[in-house]
Structure 1
Amino acid sequence: MQCHLCEDFSVPTRQLLNRHIGRVHGNSHNFHMTCGFENSSGTRCETTFNSFHTYKRHLRKKHRGEVSECEQEEQRPTGSSANSAKDLYNDSPEEPCHSPESAPLDCPPQSLANNKSNLEREAALWILKLKEGKRLTQSAVDEILSDVTELCTNVVCQLGDDLRAILNVNSDDIPGLNALVNETSPYTSPFANIKTQYLQLSYYRKYLNFVDPIQITLGTSYIWTGEGQSRRLTEVDQKFTYVPILEVLKNMLNCPAVYEEIMRGHQRSDELLEDFCDSPKFKCHPLFGSHHNALQIFLYFDECELCNPLGSFRKKHKIGNIHPMYRSTLEAIQLLCLVEAPLLEVYGHDKILEPAIKDIKQLEKGCTFSTCEGLVKFYGTIATVSGDNPGSSAVAGFKESSAAYRLCRQCLTTKPEIQLKFHEKYFDLRTPLSHQHHCQLLKDNPTIRDHYSKTFGVNRESILNSLMYFDVADECVVPDVMHDVLEGYLPYTTKLMLNYFISTRLFSNDDINSLMSNFDYGFEAISIPSPLTSTILQSADKTRLGQTASQMWTLGRMLPVMIGHFIPQDDEHWVHYIQLLDIVDLIFAPTVNPETPGYLEVLIEENLEQFVTLYRESVLPKMHFLIHVPRLLASW
């Protein structure tokens, strides 16, 4: 029987297979498997699991009798049919040593060494899962390890005493027993070689492909330290964290699944658009078009809170060569930089990106990586940059504030114009040539730099433009529709629409919340919307509905089912809202045909015109950014 999780492990019995799964994959944070058990009639169980414990419980409840019969059938040729089904669900799945000439306890030293190595790896993965999954401090982890070690020691030593009493023999009469149950055994002290932070990090580097983040000094500052008469100014370094991207790529390419995905590619054979590699832009790209396996780096910028009132900023990246269904998972996203917000304001984005850009320039010229298939040369560059609107604008060198005169990264529109025009054809788009001209004017005219900066909406030329295959004005800084739609236009319109219908007494605020609390969300239950209080509905913040992006997506799709029976189907506000939901569906569709962007362009223009007519409210910059989505949808 073969393990489909690692594909290079096979055993003769189902019992050993499940022990292997528990030992090697059970603590994996992205554990996912299908039962796959076939009963006597040949029917295959397709139940899926995200936890090894739920998988064991499923076998115990659904297949106990069938598993017992299969185990007996598999072991009958060896004359051993005494193993019971409960062995299959052993919580400590140890690979047994099978030798016709020896008793089970008389295992070869090599087998014991392998068991010790596997146990140490499982312990290391357990520590990682505990610390990172529960956000524990190192001191808390150390205390837990000490308590667990004491518990393991007591349990194993007591097990040895009970075993001697049951067999009524001395320890010396059973070869190897003392080595298994004494206080220096790997079973009594599973964390002996990884009990400190230093030992844990050493193990992660050696066996788990851990990449050490680098602390890079930006400059120095002075802070007051001490108290009273000992109070004095102390010089401290100002640093940010960088995770070397080439080292991360090397480890990713050493993973057979990732390497195979990159080399195979995932371009569609039909004309449908599912990913960047299906677009005309990919085919004519100077690097990706000529090297089908060139690494596509998607850079993402966002804020994060680490119990710090000053806040922090992080830049992340992922590889676009991986299929979208895997690329969107958390495991596929890698940290690039981490910097505190005050330092970012002082030193700027270009200084923070400098080490990453230096590495990516090497990648553009070609880097030879040691992969699972030997030495292979890869090329690559940044394909896109995305993030929230202020962050994306800042990274690309454009005006950061939505209140800026030139507020768009894609065109040269002004704030008054976005209230009147709702189709891209009415605006002058930014191009690499025009953007280069604007940046040159800033450099050549320092005395009137502010004037040019406001006129063109540009603060500086971004360090990203120093790359050979990237230009911030060439459709590469793409809008993040999560921010623009799910945290922008959709909650804004939903709030206005609900307030309108409440004011016409079709239903009340309490009716909405009652319907929401009693609604069966089905498979959307993971993102159940929060109650809509009157305070939220009447708040001055136009896009605030008290929902996360995923909750807003669920609420938008489920509202027609909840309240549709209260509203006349020809009501203009309702028709407008349903059209907006159609737009949202098209924007977030995993696959579209080549005609979809043109149709979406018409829908967005009609919807924005109707919004202004119905609600007499101002058009937000996030709403203007949507008019560029159809063109970028066809490109990316």
Structure 2
Amino acid sequence: MWRCKDCGTTLTKRSELLKHYKLIHRHYGRGHSYPCTYLNCACRFKTWNALLSHLSRNHPAQQAVSKAASTFTCHICGHNQLSTEREYFQHIYQHLKNKETVTCVFQNCEYKTNVYENFKSHKYRKHSGTVNTFKPGISSVDESCASVASDISDVEIIESDVNLNSAFDNGYSENLEKDIELKIASVLLKLEHIFLVSNAAVDELLQELNYLIGSVSVAITQKTISQVLQDNGCQFDQSVVEKLASVLCETNPVKKAIGDKGPLSSPWRRKAYYKSHFKVVEPVEYILDRKNNKSFQYISILKSLQHILDCQTILDQAVNLNTVDNQPQKTSVHYKTIFDGDFFHENGLLSKQESISLILYIDEFEICNPLGTSRRKHKICGLYWVLGNLPPGCNSALTSIYLAALIKSNDLKCYGYEKVLKPVINDLVILEQSGIFLSKLGRTVKGTVQCVVVDNLGAHSIAGFFENFSGTYVCRFCTAETSEFQTIEVRSEVFTLRTKDIHADHLRIIEENKWPSYYGVKSKCILSKHLSHFDVTTGFPPDVVHDLFEGIVPFELALCLNLLIKKSISHYVH
């Protein structure tokens, strides 16, 4: 008696088990692998022929015990209710996600790691495609279900599977055509939106490719078929060969996808295909002033988050999301990421439970010639966000930066940040108070904004500080006066840094005395007004791009170059 390791179905012969494997493969799709049928062999194979080849080389026709009739015991925690190898490795992966050190489960291998991706990579590289046995105590046979299997050769297996292929090929070919169509669509999408190839160029490419597949390839296919039939001594009619070659070219899945009426043949069809087959979040237009036809576009942060965290690869790399106990702990004084700082660990939501950390970025850009007559007329302000849970290496890539809103800069100055950020704040309030449901985790996860990266003018506008940088109090980090900046040397010992309590006192004094400002504070921060876990005194860090690369560094370089030029001129004069 044999038992399927994936669904538990009991079968009497190994040939029936192999047929059952093919049906399972058809149900789950091409990504589902075939497991070896023998006890203590952990091999899995992507194709049917690879499994047959493995059985022929490593398991010649013999009496064996079904592998599927065994149970697995975790060597870390002792859990022994794991009926399949798949469940066993999922359990092992959970230990790795909890940062526990796991030793390789196969014999003669002492590899150890506490990194999930490293263990999977090691298993794939070292224990894939070869005969591997588990270490003693991991796999045990269930005597009530295991029995001796009858002898059967690989030739008999292949012959017994002929009838199954006729019922399997239709569904397989249909899935394969869909996979090819989806792959072509992803390539075209990459051409259009990553490499910025125009729709006209893509259409020209598809037309030429369609011509090559549909017209030019017919003669080559016809010649190839005739040659193969002649080499095998087959009698054939030339008209039948011509028709066969024509049908083969016309039914090519690539031609069907990009042909005249194919789903990818025109820009409109491609756009519709992208929306229906890929996870697209459509922008929504928000009206600022209906009378003057003022509006802006917003892409929902919540919907984008759900699609992004539905990807298992991103979810595995995210810190503070996989398990409740997987919280980053501050163990040293070395600062490598934002998770090592005091601001992160003092945040009530980000530090004490599984949570989503968001980093917002706001900046303006010119879409016209910045030196021409249209300068500043069509300037756009963009709001972007980054998932702060990802490692620094991931966040440095442009593909990890997501667009949230676009608005004309003139409209932003007219209506202010509070009105423009209203849909953004609504989503952030939902994220902080209710959270979003992550299907991969099977539970709801809350989150908040960790910080907002923006230039000084934008930061002061959103945070409610004085926006005139020639006044008395121009710093959002301390309460020092402008006149003290250039006169006091040890500023850290003299200047009073703004804290949450000090800022609250300033707001209270403004409200009680009806003053326009106090110590540079004008009003309450737009985000702090609605988000309980966002602190205005720590949520607007300095921006290295605006403060250094566009500020201090060019200024200092200009002074150095000016000094060098003067010294050079003086040298030549003397």
TM-score by length of 1: 0.56
2:194 to 124, 130, 133: 133
Deviation at 1:215, TM superposition (A): 0.9
Aligned to 2:316: 260
User: What amino acid maps onto 2:418 in structure 1?
Assistant: D
CA distance 1:170–1:312, shift in 2 (3 Å): farther
Name the CA distance, whole Å, in 2 between partners of 1:471 and 1:368.
18
Q: Conserved in 2, the CA contact under 8 Å of 1:407 and 1:457?
A: yes
CA distance 1:165–1:135, shift in 2 (3 Å): closer
Q: Conserved in 2, the CA contact under 8 Å of 1:243 and 1:335?
A: yes
Q: Conserved in 2, the CA contact under 8 Å of 1:303 and 1:313?
A: yes
Q: Which residues of 2 match residues 442-461 of structure 1 at below 5 A? A: 442=510, 449=516, 452=517, 455-461=518-524
2:340 to 274, 278, 282: 278
1:501 to 564, 571, 574: 564
Aligned to 2:264: 194
Aligned to 1:572: none
Greater helix share, structure number: 1
Q: Conserved in 2, the CA contact under 8 Å of 1:265 and 1:321?
A: no
Q: Which residues of 2 match residues 218-367 of structure 1 at below 5 A? A: 218-222=288-292, 237-262=293-318, 263=322, 270-291=332-353, 293-307=354-368, 309=375, 310-367=378-435
User: 1:256-282 CA deviation, whole Å, 9 max, x = no partner?
Assistant: 112112226665755421122222333
Name the CA distance, whole Å, in 1 between partners of 2:523 and 2:464.
5
CA distance 1:439–1:271, shift in 2 (3 Å): closer
3-state secondary structure, aligned to 2:183: helix
Q: Conserved in 2, the CA contact under 8 Å of 1:215 and 1:242?
A: yes
Q: Conserved in 2, the CA contact under 8 Å of 1:410 and 1:473?
A: no
Q: Conserved in 1, the CA contact under 8 Å of 2:327 and 2:352?
A: no
Specify every segment of 5 or more residues in structure 2 that has no aligned partner in the other structure, as ranges: 1-30, 34-43, 51-153, 155-159, 227-236, 369-373
3-state secondary structure, aligned to 1:496: helix
User: What amino acid maps onto 1:115 in structure 2?
Assistant: L
Segment of structure 1 superposing worse, 249-258 or 484-493: 484-493
User: 1:294-353 CA deviation, whole Å, 9 max, x = no partner?
Assistant: 111111111122337430111111111111111121111111111110110111111111
Name the CA distance, whole Å, in 1 between partners of 2:402 and 2:195.
19
User: What amino acid maps onto 1:211 in structure 2?
Assistant: V
Q: Kindly indicate whether residue 540 of structure 2 is the aligned counterpart of residue 482 of structure 1.
A: no
CA distance 1:146–1:283, shift in 2 (3 Å): closer
Specify every segment of 5 or more residues in structure 1 that has no aligned partner in the other structure, as ranges: 1-6, 17-77, 79-98, 223-236, 510-636
3-state secondary structure, aligned to 2:222: helix
Identity of aligned residues (%): 23
Aligned to 2:456: 389
Q: Which residues of 2 match residues 69-218 of structure 1 at below 5 A? A: 108-135=169-196, 140-141=198-199, 143-157=200-214, 158-168=216-226, 170=238, 172-173=240-241, 177-182=245-250, 185-191=252-258, 192-218=262-288
Name the CA distance, whole Å, in 2 between partners of 1:11 and 1:249.
34
CA distance 1:220–1:249, shift in 2 (3 Å): same
3-state secondary structure, aligned to 2:248: helix
2:496 to 392, 406, 428: 428
Q: Kindly indicate whether residue 446 of structure 2 is the aligned counterpart of residue 379 of structure 1.
A: yes
CA RMSD of the aligned region, Å? Answer: 3.7
The number of residue pairs the alignment matches comes to 397
CA distance 1:217–1:171, shift in 2 (3 Å): farther
Q: Conserved in 2, the CA contact under 8 Å of 1:397 and 1:459?
A: yes
3-state secondary structure, aligned to 2:350: coil
2:479 to 387, 412, 419: 412
Q: Conserved in 1, the CA contact under 8 Å of 2:357 and 2:388?
A: yes
Q: Kindly indicate whether residue 531 of structure 2 is the aligned counterpart of residue 465 of structure 1.
A: no
Q: Conserved in 2, the CA contact under 8 Å of 1:145 and 1:195?
A: no
User: What amino acid maps onto 1:329 in structure 2?
Assistant: A
